[in-house]
């Protein structure tokens, strides 16, 4: 179904981010990708970002640019 996003593995290496904040961030990434209509299978995507700012927006934009 369009808009369904399944992420088998999401690895976040963000210093200072606790497990609860990481879960919230990961759920937000999935929500944003689903709203954008992203679908398909991608074996591996890696991104590196500078710290600071709205990490959810930065991660989602970087992922969408590669999908």
**Calpha distance 18→2 (Å, rounded):** 32
Task: Please determine, for residue 16, whether its predicted confidence score (pLDDT) is greater than 70.
Answer: yes
**Of the ranges 14-18, 40-44, 48-52, which one carries the lowest mean pLDDT score?**
40-44
Q: What is the pLDDT of residues 26-45, one digit of tens each?
A: 889 888 888 887 777 777 88
Distance CA 61, CA 38 (A): 12
Q: What is the pLDDT of residue 24?
A: 92
CA distance 42 to 7: 10
Task: Identify the weakest region by mean pLDDT among 2-6, 11-15, 36-40.
Answer: 2-6
Report if pTM > 0.85: no
Q: Torsions phi, psi of 25, nearest 5?
A: -65, -45
Are the beta carbons of 25 and 40 closer than 8 angstroms? no
């Amino acid at each position: 179904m369009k808009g369904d996003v399944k992420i088998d593995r999401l690895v976040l290496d963000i210093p200072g981010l606790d497990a609860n904040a990481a879960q919230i961030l990961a759920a937000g990434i999935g929500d944003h990708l689903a709203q954008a209509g992203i679908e398909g299978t991608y074996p591996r995507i890696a991104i590196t970002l500078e710290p600071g700012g709205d990490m959810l927006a930065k991660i989602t934009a970087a992922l969408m640019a590669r999908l």
